[in-house]
């Protein structure tokens, strides 16, 4: 056998794996922290799982906002729909939830993904969840308008429309349209007072508007 050739191939394989690993493991520590927390504090049976990006991650009053619901927040800041899909078994399906509430896609579009790509990622995630739990209730919170990402609003509108249309054809689903509640009726632009100084993440007033729309939806 050609030993130098084998050695060369082995190095190439290792290089390929190392270049792929960071993308796969970017959020591994966050997911492991969730799992360690579950060992210390066992999660409730059949909870409502909130999953997605930082708009859910920093909603620190989530359980207090819905005190009559058993809620687990498994969102991690900066994540994209592809991350929710990658870790779905561990951050959603592991809890055998009665409902999953998703907020994601915001970072995908800001990162350069097209509306169609984000839509396909959502459909792939939805189908994965339904294969595991055919009766699982799924709610998607519309990608929100924000001052700092207003330039992406056209793509966000298209993405929201595609996901809304898809969910209308599915049973036991909800599309939670937060967009009208966050736009000024005169300028049709995001209401600045709903956001923190970064003009991306919401303050308490912004979350109260979301809570009003989510209350009738939560199971």
User: pLDDT tens, position by position, for the chain (219 residues)?
Assistant: 444 444 443 333 333 333 333 345 689 999 999 999 999 999 999 999 999 999 999 999 999 999 999 999 999 988 999 999 999 999 999 999 999 999 999 999 999 999 999 999 999 999 999 999 999 999 999 999 999 999 999 999 999 999 999 999 999 999 999 999 999 999 999 999 999 999 999 999 999 999 999 999 999
- Domain CATH number, residue 59: 3.40.50.1110
| The token pair that represents 152 in the structure block | 């992406």
13 located within any domain: no
14 located within any domain: no
Q: How many domains does the chain divide into?
A: 1
Residue with tokens 């409902």: 99
195 located within any domain: yes
Residue 34 vs residues 2, 37, 180: alpha-carbon distances, Å? 47, 5, 33
- Per-residue pLDDT at 25: 62
CA-nearest of 179, 197, 178, 196 to 188 is 179
CA-nearest of 86, 165, 71 to 128 is 86
11 located within any domain: no
Domain carrying residue 138: 28-214
Long-range contacts of 90-94 (CB under 8 A, 24+ apart): 90/31, 90/34, 90/35, 91/31, 91/34, 91/49, 91/51, 92/49, 92/51, 92/129, 93/129, 93/132, 93/133
191 located within any domain: yes
19 located within any domain: no
91 located within any domain: yes
């Amino acid at each position: 056998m050609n030993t130098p050739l084998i050695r060369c191939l082995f190095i190439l394989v290792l290089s390929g794996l190392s270049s792929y690993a960071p993308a796969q493991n970017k959020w591994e520590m966050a997911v492991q922290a969730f799992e360690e927390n579950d060992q210390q504090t066992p999660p409730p049976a059949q909870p409502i799982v909130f999953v997605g990006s930082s708009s859910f991650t920093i909603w620190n009053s989530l359980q207090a906002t819905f005190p009559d619901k058993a809620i687990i927040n498994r969102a991690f800041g900066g994540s994209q729909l592809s991350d929710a899909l990658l870790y779905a078994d561990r951050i959603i399906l592991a809890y055998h939830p009665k409902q999953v509430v998703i907020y994601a896609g915001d970072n995908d579009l800001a990162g350069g993904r097209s509306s169609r790509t984000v839509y396909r990622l959502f459909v792939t995630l939805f189908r994965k969840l339904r294969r595991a739990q055919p009766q699982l209730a799924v709610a998607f919170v519309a990608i929100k308008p924000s001052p700092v990402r207003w330039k992406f609003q056209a793509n966000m509108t298209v993405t929201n429309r595609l996901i809304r249309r898809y969910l209308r054809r599915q049973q036991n689903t909800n599309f939670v349209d937060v967009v009208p509640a966050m736009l000024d009726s005169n300028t049709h632009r995001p209401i600045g007072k709903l956001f923190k100084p970064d003009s991306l993440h919401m303050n308490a007033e912004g979350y109260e508007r979301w809570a009003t729309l989510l209350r009738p939806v939560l199971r």
